[in-house]
A = this chain, B = another copy of it.
Amino acid sequence: MTASGVRARVRAEMTDEIKAVARRHLATEGANLSLRAVARDMGMASSAVYRYFASRDELLTAMIIDAYNALGDTAEQAATGNSGLERFLNATSAVRDWALADPHQWALIYGSPVPGYQAPQDTVGPGTRVVLLIADLVKDAYENGEITDREEITGRFAEELRAVADQYTPGAPPRLVAASMSAFLHLSGAISAELFGQLTGSVEEDRRGFFEYQMRGAASLIGLR
């Protein structure tokens, strides 16, 4: 291994450790991540952290990408089953479990954007993994004849969704893309509400059951059976 290779590896390790400490802080403190506190925890000067991340926002961006990818991995691994419906329910349930296990990380990616923070281009790729997974899974079900016919959608947004469908899931009718996206938005709304305390006072005991009920509704709008 070359000398420059060593340096690069040490740098990568350092970067990872900073992110790990930051993730720990995020889990306990919440979204107002303090670079200084992270540096303190690592026993280094705060200015030294700036060798690895140009700003607090850049560190946040890195953590957002990591979170998107962790969630994407989780959802993809869970999206198994004997039917499209089963795969959909398993995937969405895994997304919920992931969010419940680390609410702050969920808030980081699906909560309100950090003030002054504009999501850079690097985040859009990983950010679409879950919705693409759903669209893909629905397309599979469609090709297996598992989708109940529904009337095709019309309107300008239908045209826009046709373009999206052609790019990501060619061959799938636009209404399936629309319904998949709609299901994903329902998913994220249901999880965010549960995590952010919007459900307090109504469903307290059987939130999993209520969530599955909602996802079954979303699936029925898609036509999954």
Q: Is A127 part of the binding interface, using a Cβ–Cβ cutoff of 8 Å?
A: yes
A20 at the interface (CB under 8 A from B): no
A156 to B127, CA, bound (A): 34
Copies in the complex: 2
On whether the beta carbons of B161 and A196 are closer than 8 Å, the reply is: no
By the criterion of a CB under 8 Å from any partner CB, how many residues of chain A are at the interface?
55
Extra 7 A-B pairs, beta carbons < 8 Å, given A108-B112, A157-B206: A30-B115, A127-B198, A155-B209, A157-B213, A160-B206, A186-B190, A220-B221
Which residues of A line the B interface, CB within 8 A?
29-32, 107-108, 110-113, 115-116, 119, 124, 127-128, 153, 155-158, 160-161, 164, 178-179, 181-182, 185-190, 192-193, 196-198, 200-207, 209-210, 213-214, 217-218, 220-221
